[in-house]
Chain A
């Protein structure tokens, strides 16, 4: 494989070699030192479009002379997981397409991207369906919200072997349906509970109707969760009463919404699971992000000025290939200075659902530890 990619880089390859390469290889070509992206087809130009902050967003592939094969070698540290597309230019038209030679794609609310798993990355086994794991159930929960003035539809996850005689921890998940669709949340919960790595818990999956209106740190969303949703859940479900048995979870703006809610209702939610938080802030003057982050920055600056004690335990993670790594790294010492127990992890990944999926074992077993050590079935 290395020899072939060297030949690609050197531009010495025959038509026969191209056919054989396409027929016999998995793409992109992964080696310990990096990855060779390959595109085959007629084009005026082909560029790699990736979501690695810090590198040029578009990187041109080079055409192997006298062939329709294009390639680009990119150093990629071991363990990286990168999502990408190709930008194909032909006849003045630019198209963004997934890599036709790579069947592995990751889905998100905007569609799907090709996935490049660098040397050493393996999808965790606990994210895949396990026939031995008893499945939990998923039902709809409807709630008339006064603060939002509308009816909310939520999803209620009950663990396998759920029974009303027992009391359970509660996890409220922001963007819950997306976590189900794109981060395999139900499979993950089923598996981690089955493996005794997390406590059997009840998860309430919440979806915004107006995400930008609800998840940018404003007070209304917190009121909905703490004063409308939580009392209803306490009334209808066998929940443990201690704040340590309650958690809020979210990624991106969902992390902002989680933190903002816990901040406005200290002592209510003992655990926070914050992934790739869109924690825009400024030390002085205006923040440097898009104006859409104005309300977020207003909240984050207010929080930083008066952080208080929003929760007891925090799990915080961020991808190294995200621009948000700066904000997330910056927040960790602030959380710690307030006496919060913080577990912070970075991954060689981007602002993606599969990044958030891959961190769930570490996060949930830290916040809701299971009886693994004591149970021998």
Chain B
């Protein structure tokens, strides 16, 4: 049986310690803080909060070392990332139009049955677009892995073996938030999902996003850009049926029923869950349940409490 715990943001007040205690998860801990990029490994606050030693796996800096030592892999990796970036750009172009059409139809008036049909069609097109994009991204990753078999290459293989040993000797793994694309790429590069075994994993913010089936980027009112939620990449899939939305209250217009409705309907049957400070979700063998207060975006445009078991 595997246990995954998803938490909301750890700022301004961390909830990690109480969450670990309430779920009976004990150390010693390893940690992934690759999302912090150059701040990776600065786990002093974390250790002070937990009153326990935390051993950072150093995935961000290990990747730098791998790319420095294995130039061929580095070039191929960079080329893949350039292609994925271009794929994302093209997806955004289509996404903008698909979302604009759906929003226009949501605001339109007319014969109810025709409108409902048109809206359903536009929503289906949007969902298809997301699925197609995710499939293309997966395909690029699979092609890269099949061709380069990175885990078997000297520098990377050495690190993976070392990381496997570190994980084996600790009771649980913590995955912090930060830059979600970097985080999920590093987790995948070092095959962390395969190294975990049945150890408990505790992840928050971007860490929680990385463990879901797909990573959805979102912000309804950025200072620049359209603010259209977009699918970025497949996650590690340790938890199924949810789209984690850290800082939802701050990042999303939760008082806008149309935006809430579109986001909820777009990814249904997966539940769009607001991960706020203090949120705690326990996942056992892929199935999740809330511990304490949890809110989900609903297809009727509301943001409602998820019923506790």
The residues of A with any CB-CB pair to B shorter than 8 Å are: 132, 161, 163, 165-166, 197, 361-362, 365-366, 369, 371-377
Known: A372-B223, A373-B219, A376-B9. 19 other contacts (CB 8 A): A132-B12, A161-B39, A163-B39, A165-B38, A197-B223, A361-B223, A362-B223, A366-B223, A369-B224, A372-B222, A374-B182, A374-B217, A375-B179, A376-B177, A376-B209, A376-B247, A377-B11, A377-B205, A377-B206
Q: Are A372 and B219 in contact (CB under 8 A)?
A: yes
CA distance A50 to B219 in the complex (A): 40
Q: Are A376 and B223 in contact (CB under 8 A)?
A: no
With A166-B38, A197-B222, A362-B223 as contacts: A373 and B217 at CB distance below 8 Å: yes
With A132-B12, A163-B38, A166-B38 as contacts: A375 and B222 at CB distance below 8 Å: no
Flag whether B225 is at the interface (Cβ < 8 A).
yes
Q: Which residues of A contact B237 (CB under 8 A)?
A: none
Q: Are A377 and B9 in contact (CB under 8 A)?
A: yes
Shortest C-beta distance, B85 to chain A (Å), equals 12
CA distance A155 to B209 in the complex (A): 40
Q: Are B39 and A376 in contact (CB under 8 A)?
A: no
Shortest C-beta distance, B15 to chain A (Å), equals 14
5 closest A-B pairs by beta carbon, nearest first, are A365-B223, A376-B206, A376-B205, A376-B246, A166-B38
Q: Which residues of B contact A372 (CB under 8 A)?
A: 219, 222-223
CB closest residue in chain B, given A362 = B223
Q: Which residues of B contact A374 (CB under 8 A)?
A: 179-182, 217
Q: Which residues of B contact A377 (CB under 8 A)?
A: 9-11, 177-178, 205-206
Q: List 15 interface pairs A-B (beta carbons < 8 Å), by A numbering.
A: A132-B12, A161-B39, A163-B38, A197-B222, A365-B223, A365-B224, A369-B224, A372-B219, A373-B217, A374-B182, A374-B217, A375-B177, A375-B180, A375-B206, A376-B205
CB closest residue in chain A, given B244 = A376
CA distance A174 to B205 in the complex (A): 39
Q: Which residues of A contact B35 (CB under 8 A)?
A: 375
CB closest residue in chain B, given A198 = B223
Q: Which residues of B contact A375 (CB under 8 A)?
A: 35, 177-180, 206
Q: Which residues of B contact A373 (CB under 8 A)?
A: 217, 219, 222, 225
Q: Which residues of A contact B10 (CB under 8 A)?
A: 377
Shortest C-beta distance, A103 to chain B (Å), equals 30
Q: Which residues of A contact B219 (CB under 8 A)?
A: 372-373
Shortest C-beta distance, A193 to chain B (Å), equals 13
With A132-B11, A163-B38 as contacts: A376 and B180 at CB distance below 8 Å: yes
Q: Which residues of B contact A366 (CB under 8 A)?
A: 223-224
Q: Which residues of B contact A369 (CB under 8 A)?
A: 224
Q: Which residues of A contact B181 (CB under 8 A)?
A: 374
Q: Which residues of A contact B12 (CB under 8 A)?
A: 132
CA distance A373 to B215 in the complex (A): 12
CB closest residue in chain B, given A126 = B223
Scoring B residues 1 to 45 as 1 if CB is less than 8 Å from chain A, else 0, what string do you get?
Answer: 000000001111000000000000000000000010011000000
Shortest C-beta distance, A202 to chain B (Å), equals 15
CA distance A165 to B41 in the complex (A): 14
